[in-house]
Amino acid sequence: MRIARYALAGEDPVFGIVELEVDAGQHPDTVAEITGDPLVGPVHYTGQRHHLSDVRLLAPVIPRSKIIGVGRNYAAHAAELGNEVPERPLLFFKPNTSVIGPGDPIVRPADTDDLHYEGELAVVIGRIAKDVPTDRVGEVIFGYTVANDVTARDLQHSEGQWARAKGWDTFCPLGPWIVTHFDLAEAGDQQITTTLDDTVVQDSSTALMVRPIADLVSYISHFTTLLPGDVILTGTPAGVGPMHAGQWVSVEVSGIGELSNPVVDDTPAGDSE
Ligand code: ZN
């Protein structure tokens, strides 16, 4: 299934099941509304159905608890920034307030002159999970979506830790929906592509992760309890680089979909120091 969170003009967000038609045009893509939150409990169809083009897609999950990122999980990306692949996964947090949805603007704060995209596969946790053995990780995953781990590269280098570099509002686009039908093997063998306007800037495969998804989730669950709705960003492949106001950045993971966002500059209201 593909589970989307969306809103019709002037209405509250709801969840729905996306049904993609291969012969788009003849039978347009639709979304069938469901009751409640599929991460929380059983859901039912309400009978309402809309053309996908008529709804505004939102981030498919707003983590109540946490987003955990993994640094340097593709060897070619570690090398391009002059880093070694760490002996253990290098982890960081992004606040849930950094999440935005498809089409929402990524806002460059005035504090950075080097705003980078990082296309990533995101794992959405579905169960309370602690000390999960690698061979049971599949049981705690709700599904997969696409993320852009937006990073102020200059702040990442100049500050001791990455809270500001990766945690600013709008620095975590997620979407377009959550795919629940992948198993770990499928999630770990998808093409991942980032496009800046019309230029492909990252083109890799989730098969090239240094630590595969099962290892990452197991490792993370040994230090912190994972909760339903937590999101794990699995690292970015090579090709990171700057993006500027006026550009559109799109991250696509095959089998899931494409997440596109425009970039804008923060326009300080009144006194800008
Ligand atoms: Zn990243």
* pLDDT number for residue 36: 87
How far, in Å, from the CA of 215 to the mean position of ligand 1? 17
Ligand 1 centre from 41 Cα, in Å? 30
Distance 69 CA to ligand 1 centre (A): 6
d(CA 129, CA 46): 31
Query: Can you tell me which residue has the tokens 């599904």?
Result: 143
> Which tens digits make up the pLDDT trace of 106-151?
999 999 999 999 999 999 999 999 999 999 999 999 999 999 999 9
C-alpha of residue 208 to centroid of ligand 1, in Å: 14
Tell me the average pLDDT across 60-84. Answer: 93
pTM of the model as a whole = 0.95
Q: What is the pLDDT of residue 253?
A: 98
Interior/surface letters 6-33, b for 16+ CB within 10 angstroms, e for the rest: beeeeeeebbbbbeeeeeeeeeeebbbb
257 CA to centre of ligand 1 in angstroms: 19
Q: How far is the CA of 168 from the centre of ligand 1 (A)?
A: 14
Q: Which residues lie closer than 8 Å to 124 by C-beta, 6 or more apart? A: 39, 60, 61, 141, 142, 143, 144, 145, 178, 229, 230, 231
First to last CA, the chain: 49
- The answer on pLDDT for 270 being more than 60 is no
Token code pair at residue 46: 């309400």
What is the Å distance from ligand 1's center to 233 Cα?
7
Element (H, E) at 56: strand 56-58
In the predicted structure, residue 269 carries a pLDDT above the cut 80: no
| Domains of the chain, start order | 2-58 (2.30.30.370), 67-265 (3.90.850.10)
Using the mean position of ligand 1's atoms as its centre, give its distance from the Cα of residue 76 in Å. Answer: 13
